[in-house]
Amino acid sequence: MQDAQDGPSRTDVDAIVVGAGFSGLDAVHVLRERGYTVQGIEAAGGVGGTWYWNRYPGARTDSKAFIYCLSFSKELREEWDWSELYPTQPEVLAYLEHVADRFDLKRYFAFDTTVTAATWDDDTSLWTVDTSTGRRFRARYLISGVGCLSAVNRPQFDGIERFQGRVEHTARWPQEGVDVSGQRVALIGAGSSGVQLLPELAKTAGSVTLFQRTPNYVAPYTSTRFSDEDREAYRRDHEAIQAHIRQNPGTMYFSPAGPSAKLADPAERETVFEQAYAQGGLAMLLGTYEDLLVDPESNDLASEFLRSKIKETVHDRETAEILTPRTYPFGVKRPPCGVGYLDAFNEPTVSVVDVRSTPIEGFTERGLVVDGSEYEFDVIILATGFDASVGALLRLNVTGRNGRRLADVWAHGPESYLGLGIPDFPNLFTIIGPLSAFGNLPTVVEHNVDFVADLLDKARAAGTPVVEADVAATDAWVQESRTIAAQTLLTSAKAANSWIMGANLEGRELAVLWYPAGANTYFDRCDEERERGFPGFSLAPAVPTTAMAV
Ligand code: NAP
């Protein structure tokens, strides 16, 4: 067996890992540690994944720093000092750079290399991966670490090429930045990216006009700086913190105040909501009451509280009304967190145009047209999000057994066992893939990678390296996910245009993209599968080849 580290011409390895974000870096590290040879492939010029691309001003995590990191190494924890509770993009990128250097991972990656096709060959029991550079890689295993929010959504606005000014997308923000000083800026999109960017633009731009289709329940951020004492406390309490987030449905470090908002004492509930709002971040959703996403009455109470905050903060009545969500429940659309977002609308240079009932008609040379009126700009910024969860996987052009294309198999929504394995796509494993758990993603990533590595170890020990998710286990997992989702408020995803169910993309069928019973239940189910010896996966011998050792 050749080793990918021996030189650039060596392409036959045990595993190909696509992506150099949290998932890819962890997968390369863990598989190397367990003795597998690995080739990483990354479209970007460096490591970081989402944190490489999303360099727009204001980008930061809405997970707390001391959980938004890899937990496997005590040394890593000891030597990395987070500066604040919700770190900014440059800090998270610096962290991932550090991880890659600390564990010597960059040498296993081909950067600036995009996967153009991945094809399973039943005659050799190998994956062949073609890339944009012309290099072709072969491996027994194909591990996707492409992330769930990485395939950029660029709506096809009529005449966009005619616009003479600058057009940028938040998820492909130029490394050198965009100087908007004194410029007339249009921002399209009011999701997490737009909400984080808008107040930053407002600091220097001549004017900022938000074109908003669906308003959001925006919570504020309170990102405190860490003292040395804070950092010591997080290090000391690491085990307890990890145990806590493992039991939390969103893998977050919050403790709900009670089981039900509607059953709580009204005065107490008001205090709980006020405290959560002041705490900021995702506290309103994950740190108040457990039934917000399942009980419409409880949800109404939280939704109405957040509407009242918009009214309280935004002075102009008409503007406040445009910014107020009324057609869908809180939490069905992932709530953005914003530093000074609502307050920014009190600035004379910041305004909002409602494009829900009168969509953007198209671009002109000077700007864009809504409801027959032309708005002129120097810069137009798309904060229009992603083809979430499935998009990045489908863009790999994956073909499995008997020429079956993943795009066809998933035409009516993704089907996968535990979000990790797909029947007819042997030896393909999708870290944080569709129907795995959503939450603090590094936690889910590490759990997924360890699970896959244990499964491969079992296959290696048994001499049966062809691993495939069972049809029956997959069908049951898909059915369970759909049944649970139907019992939650996620059924309102269409009204919210929520990417959580792929409802943000025109022409896309609504799909369950995540296991909806919570990450804690998901981890239990994966652990049970592992303890029972992986009954939901079949293991078979490979077709013998001379090149491969596994
Ligand atoms: P998003 O939540 O999908 O928001 C996209 C925005 O673009 C929406 O307001 C959408 O309107 C609008 N839009 C799309 N097409 C449009 C069109 N043709 N005309 C007008 N408006 C259009 O995307 P995102 O803000 O990039 O965030 C996606 C996810 O990434 C977040 O939910 C979060 O999970 C993650 N993220 C996290 C952070 C963080 O805090 N750490 C920061 C950024 C992103 P509709 O709502 O009507 O579709």
Q: Decide: 188 in ligand 1 pocket, CB within 6 A.
A: yes
Contacts of 9 (CB under 8 A, 6+ apart): none
DSSP H helices in 112-223: 192-204
Distance from Cα 2 to the centre of ligand 1, integer Å: 44
Contact 358, 214 (CB under 8 A): no
CATH code for position 131: 3.50.50.60
Closest ligand 1 atom to residue 196 Cα is 42
**CA gap 86, 151 in Å, rounded:** 24
**CA gap 452, 432 in Å, rounded:** 11
Distance from Cα 341 to the centre of ligand 1, integer Å: 15
Looking at the domain assignment, is residue 293 inside a domain? no
Looking at the domain assignment, is residue 531 inside a domain? yes
Q: Decide: 191 in ligand 1 pocket, CB within 6 A.
A: yes
Contacts of 110 (CB under 8 A, 6+ apart): 39, 40, 41, 42, 131, 133, 135
In the chain, the percentage of residues whose pLDDT exceeds 70 is 97
Looking at the domain assignment, is residue 407 inside a domain? yes
Torsion, Cα of 243, 435, 138, 98 (10° steps): -40
Nearest in space to 60 (alpha carbons), one of 27, 29, 95: 95
Looking at the domain assignment, is residue 294 inside a domain? no
Question: Pocket of ligand 1, candidates 504, 506, 514: which has the most ligand atoms within 8 Å of its Cβ, to mutate?
Answer: 504
**CA gap 194, 218 in Å, rounded:** 11
Residues 70-98, mean pLDDT to the nearest whole number: 96
Question: Pocket of ligand 1, candidates 356, 375, 499: which has the most ligand atoms within 8 Å of its Cβ, to mutate?
Answer: 499
Q: Decide: 155 in ligand 1 pocket, CB within 6 A.
A: yes
412-430: pLDDT as tens digits:
999 999 999 999 999 999 9
Q: Decide: 61 in ligand 1 pocket, CB within 6 A.
A: yes
Looking at the domain assignment, is residue 243 inside a domain? no
Looking at the domain assignment, is residue 433 inside a domain? yes
pLDDT value for 77: 94
pTM assigned to the model: 0.95
Contact 416, 426 (CB under 8 A): no
> Looking at ligand 1, which residue's alpha carbon is closest to its atom 17?
155
> Looking at ligand 1, which residue's alpha carbon is closest to its atom 41?
61
> Looking at ligand 1, which residue's alpha carbon is closest to its atom 28?
385
Residues spanned by the domain of 529: 12-47+105-151+388-540
355-409: pLDDT as tens digits:
999 999 999 999 999 999 999 999 999 999 999 999 999 999 999 999 999 999 9
The β-bridge relationship of strands 115-121 and 398-399 is: parallel
Distance from Cα 63 to the centre of ligand 1, integer Å: 17
pLDDT value for 223: 78
**Residue positions counted in the chain:** 550
Q: Decide: 214 in ligand 1 pocket, CB within 6 A.
A: yes
Nearest in space to 234 (alpha carbons), one of 118, 115, 71: 71
**CA gap 307, 215 in Å, rounded:** 11
**CA gap 523, 65 in Å, rounded:** 22
Total domains, the chain: 1
Residues 14-38, mean pLDDT to the nearest whole number: 98
Residues 331-354, mean pLDDT to the nearest whole number: 96
Residues 211-224, mean pLDDT to the nearest whole number: 92
151-210: pLDDT as tens digits:
999 999 999 999 999 999 999 999 999 999 999 999 999 999 999 999 999 999 999 999
Categorize the per-residue pLDDT at 545 as very low, low, confident or very high, splitting at 50, 70 and 90.
low
Nearest in space to 419 (alpha carbons), one of 387, 441, 389, 443: 389
Dig out the tokens for 52 from the structure: 């490489």
Question: Pocket of ligand 1, candidates 193, 285, 360: which has the most ligand atoms within 8 Å of its Cβ, to mutate?
Answer: 193
pLDDT value for 490: 87
> Looking at ligand 1, which residue's alpha carbon is closest to its atom 37?
192
485-523: pLDDT as tens digits:
999 998 888 888 999 999 999 888 899 999 999 999 999
Amino acid code (one letter) for 522: Y
Residue 550 has pLDDT above 50, yes or no: no
Closest ligand 1 atom to residue 359 Cα is 19
Dig out the tokens for 439 from the structure: 């939450």
289-327: pLDDT as tens digits:
999 999 999 999 999 999 999 999 999 999 999 999 999
Neighbour count for residue 189 (Cβ, 10 Å): 25
**CA gap 296, 330 in Å, rounded:** 10
Closest ligand 1 atom to residue 59 Cα is 42
Contacts of 344 (CB under 8 A, 6+ apart): 198, 199, 202, 208, 350
Backbone angles phi, psi at 243, to 5 degrees: -65, -40
pLDDT value for 11: 54
Looking at the domain assignment, is residue 508 inside a domain? yes
Chain-centre distance for alpha carbon 327: 25
Looking at the domain assignment, is residue 43 inside a domain? yes
Question: Pocket of ligand 1, candidates 149, 510, 513: which has the most ligand atoms within 8 Å of its Cβ, to mutate?
Answer: 149
In the chain, the percentage of residues whose pLDDT exceeds 90 is 92
